[in-house]
Amino acid sequence: MKYDTNQLLYNLKSLFFDYMEYTEGHILFYGEFFEKMLACIHDALDAAEVAYFKYDEWKQLLFIEASTSAITEASAGFPCDEQALSELGTALYSYNNESVKELAVFEAILPISDGGRIIGVLAIKEKQKGSLKEIGCEEAKEIAHEFKKLIKTSLSFFKLAKKERRNKQLLSVTQRIHSSMSMDAVLSEVINTLQEVYPSLTYYLLISHDIVNRKNLPIKDLEYDSENAAALQCYVTGTIQMEDYLAEKKSILYAPLNGKQGVYGVLQIIAPHALVFPKAEIEFITMLADAAGGAMENAQLYEQSKRVIADLQLINETSHRLNSSLRLSETMSYMKQQIMKSFKADETGFILVQANGEVNYLDGSTDFFHTKESDLYISYLKEKINADKEALFIGDLSLQLADEDIMYPSLMAVPMMASDSLKGFAVVLHKKPYNFSFEMFKLLQSLIHHSSLAVVNSMLREELEKMVITDHLTKLYSRSYLDEKIYHSMENDEEGTFILIDIDDFKVVNDTYGHQVGDDILIQVAKLINCNIRETDIGARWGGEELAIYLPKVSLDAGVRIAERLLKRVGELSSPRITISCGVSYWTNSASDNANALFKRADEALYMAKSSGKNKVLVQEDGHCKAEL
């Protein structure tokens, strides 16, 4: 059978232009075009089968890209190294290489080369034995050459189409990730794009530790060890890195997630059964990684800006509240709430350091700082801060105090300064090591710096107020403060007891021991009063050697028992030994009464106690004194 080679070549060219015209404006299907070319050759040569084996750069395999008959088992691909390819001849029936047995079933082999490099094989199986021998060597070369030209020309169209689709994909994903200010959304879009473009590959995002690991995404921490040398090299240099595993027949590509200010991670792509990443794929992966890096940077900067704004709002709000003439207890309670909420701390404390080295805990401190376990932290911090006057940021305190049982290893402490003088420090603790970030530490410094003056002012204001309402000698409340509290109690409570106290023979004490000892006696009695009443009760200096106690919401019987206990304590504990006399009066809201009447009854009872022998408690009831001791 005589074959018309020229007609075959003409038909192939016509097929190309017809197909290009048909597909204009539509998606170009490379495989479909290949099948039509092979069908054209099949019909022209009256062959049993025509197949095209393509050499895959990724996997270094020959596999059937298209065939005119059912795909054979060779479609899975078979190894064909460069030496075996180089031995393929340029004429029919010249190939005889045992290393590639899969080609032996075809009678005609037309190697398709480009620039001296074989890119594939056109294989033809005869319908009748010897029917292809009429095709000469030159004709075979011409068919192979024309087939190669068609492949290259059509492939350029399809590559352009593929590149256009890739560019559209890249543009689309870039628009989506840059329109989002969420780190989760950015990472999700990158993963979704990889799944769409490379469904058969494995990929991970290797993220540095300063970025939170997101859930439900193939993300791993970027570890700093020898097993991740290529990934670290990629992260440090910001350039593509490759790893080839010949034994496992796989390649790994590492692409940096580059931003303008740094590298935010590494995109790891694992290609199984492949040793080479095509240049076009590397370019696409690089552009995708760069887009992801820029979007991650924008998202991180946005989150940082929001955090900075929130920090400034916290500092501004706290400073405003603390400078609103709050009481010290209210000030520290508010500070505690802000710190516990902002830093998610387990414990927080506010410690005042006296000139003599003693420490006091302000009301806003958590209960932990009123336990013995806190002494270890306070002694350590007091020594460090007093020496350096610097804030402390410790990720794991157990490393510095190895011999101690550390309950809260994460620690931040900031000194409270006023007029360049150390007044104390604030401390924040957490049970988890390295729980606090450096941004948290800087925020705490700013917060305490802006709050220290308000705290000191609250302390000074309350000290001044206490000086105004406190007797300088006895440290009991003043007469005016006592009057104010009694008036308030008689308006709001249902009952109350008033005790008027006089030191017996106080003039004799002064004459015998001197006025300094007399003052000391007053101080001793005042301390015993404070030790025998509640915080809600009021001990005051009435005048001279007379002292007073008001017990709001306390019955007469309870008030008398308190007076009796105080009289006994003074007789037992005073030095030099003295005694006291007490006059007790009582009021209820069921009777028409006032403060002056309450004072008068107590004064009359005290007078009767003094005139009837002293060292006793008397109660004034219904115009008559009743002895209680």
The predicted pLDDT at position 603 comes to: 94
Instruction: Note the pLDDT tens digit of each residue in 228-266.
Output: 788 888 888 888 888 877 666 778 889 888 888 888 888
Predicted confidence (pLDDT) per residue in 44-61, tens digit:
777 888 888 887 766 667
pLDDT at 316 over 80: no
Averaged pLDDT for residues 486-493: 92
CA distance 331 to 321: 8
520-531 b/e (C-beta count within 10 Å ≥ 16 → b): bbbebbbebbee
| pLDDT in the model for residue 74 | 46
CB 101 within 8 A of CB 24: no
Alpha-helical (H) ranges within 323-401 are: 328-343, 375-388
Residue 128: φ, ψ to 5°: -120, 135
What pLDDT does residue 172 have?
Answer: 67
Distance CA 35, CA 23 (A): 15
- Cα Rg, the chain, nearest whole Å: 48
Of 299-313, 382-396, 560-574, minimum mean pLDDT range:
299-313
- pTM for the structure as a whole: 0.44
Task: Convert 506-527 into a string of H (helix), E (strand) and C (coil).
Answer: HHHHHHHHCHHHHHHHHHHHHH
Query: Which amino acid, residue 159?
Result: K
pLDDT of 19-44, one tens digit each? 665 554 444 455 677 777 788 888 87
Lowest average pLDDT, out of 266-280, 423-437, 512-526, goes to 266-280
Residue 342: pLDDT band (50, 70, 90) is: confident
- pLDDT of the residue at 586: 93
pLDDT at 541 over 80: yes
Reply yes or no on whether the pLDDT at 95 is more than 50: no
Q: How many CB atoms lie within 10 A of CB 86?
A: 11
Residue 433, preceding bond cis, omega within 30 degrees? no
CB 353 within 8 A of CB 382: yes
pLDDT at 169 over 70: no
The neighbour count for residue 254, using CB atoms within 10 Å, is 23
Which residues face 113 on adjacent strands? 118
* Each residue's pLDDT tens digit, 604-619: 999 999 999 999 999 9
Model pLDDT, residue 393: 92
SS3 assignment for 452-502? HHHHHHHHHHHHHHHHHHECCCCCCECHHHHHHHHHHHHHHCCEEEEEEEE
Contact 423, 416 (CB under 8 A): yes
Q: What's the CA angle centered on 593, arms 591 and 595, to 5 degrees? A: 150
Tell me the average pLDDT across 66-89. 65
**629: confidence class by pLDDT, cuts 50, 70, 90:** very low
More confident residue, 234 or 116: 234
Average pLDDT, the chain: 79
Residue 210 vs residues 321, 380, 603: alpha-carbon distances, Å: 34, 29, 74
DSSP string, 17-52: HHHHHHTTTS---HHHHHHHHHHHHHHHHT-SEEEE
Length of the chain (residues) = 629
For each of the domains in the chain, give its residue range(s) and CATH number, in order of start.
5-161 (3.30.450.40), 180-302 (3.30.450.40), 323-463 (3.30.450.40), 479-627 (3.30.70.270)
Segment among 80-84, 137-141, 278-282, 379-383 with least mean pLDDT:
80-84
Lowest mean pLDDT segment, chosen from 191-195, 348-352, 606-610: 191-195
Q: What is the pLDDT of residue 53?
A: 84
Q: Buried (b) or exposed (e) across 1-19, using 16+ Cβ within 10 A?
A: eebebeebbebbeebbeeb
Cα(132)–Cα(125) distance, rounded to whole angstroms?
9
pLDDT at 602: 94
CA dihedral 370, 373, 374, 380 (to 10 degrees): 150
3-state helix, strand, coil in the chain (%, to 5): 50, 20, 30
Element holding 272 (H helix, E strand): strand 263-272
Find, among 566, 551, 560, the residue nearest to 503 by Cα.
Answer: 566
- pLDDT bucket at 222, cuts 50 / 70 / 90: confident
